[in-house]
Amino acid sequence: MAFIARAPRKSATSSGNGGAVLSIGRQAFIHCTGGAGERTALFDEKGAGVGDVIDGLEVEIVGWMPRGAATRYLVRSIRTDAVGWIGLANLRTTPTACSPESLAPVAPAAVWIDPRRRAERSKKGDGAPQGRGRSR
């Protein structure tokens, strides 16, 4: 049976511009590049400013307009009556902003074990782990 080669599918979690895709009904938080205490503007569907919101405010996503790099989300504040459109760059999924260092996985430091030294230790019987393969 032959299989037909197909082009790889695009990921459902990618917006095509390298950013995340947030679903309607999801809770998110306002993200301001200046950090805590900063504000960002909310807009109506024509692009006119309708108010502003503070960094860290919890919102619910109630709509979206796919526009590639200019995708906009309609958000409604959980605590106030603020409603408006905002760009993806001004939304995050965590209550507090994460630093790039905290997002990077921390791998344990690599340790070089000289194979000759390991062989010497196993001959002396000092508790070095023994392999499970066939004996030579």
More confident residue, 68 or 102: 68
User: Is 61 within the bounds of a domain?
Assistant: yes
User: Is 72 within the bounds of a domain?
Assistant: yes
pLDDT at 60: 94
What digits encode the pLDDT tens for the residues 51-87?
888 888 899 999 988 877 788 999 999 888 889 999 8
Q: Which residues of 116-131 are buried (b: 16+ CB within 10 A; e: fewer)?
A: eeeeeeeeeeeeeeee
User: Is 4 within the bounds of a domain?
Assistant: no
User: Is 86 within the bounds of a domain?
Assistant: yes
User: Is 2 within the bounds of a domain?
Assistant: no
Q: What is the DSSP string of the chain?
A: -PPPP-PPPPPTTB-SSS-B---TT-EEEE--TT-TT-EEEEE-TTS-EEEEEETT-EEEEEEEE--GGG-EEEEEESSS--EEEEEGGGEESSSSPPPHHHHS--PPPP----HHHHHHHHHHTSSPPPP-S---
pLDDT at 7: 61
User: Is 119 within the bounds of a domain?
Assistant: no
pLDDT at 59: 93
User: Is 111 within the bounds of a domain?
Assistant: no
Mean pLDDT, the chain, whole residue set: 75
What digits encode the pLDDT tens for the residues 111-123?
666 777 766 666 6
% of the chain at pLDDT higher than 90? 16
Number of domains in the chain: 1
User: Is 68 within the bounds of a domain?
Assistant: yes
pLDDT band at residue 98 using 50, 70 and 90 as cut-offs: low
In terms of residue numbers, what domain contains 85? 27-97
pTM of the model: 0.58
CATH of the domain at 39: 2.30.30.40
What value does the mean pLDDT take over residues 97-104?
54
Select the highest-mean-pLDDT range: 19-23, 34-38, 69-73, 95-99: 69-73
pLDDT at 84: 94
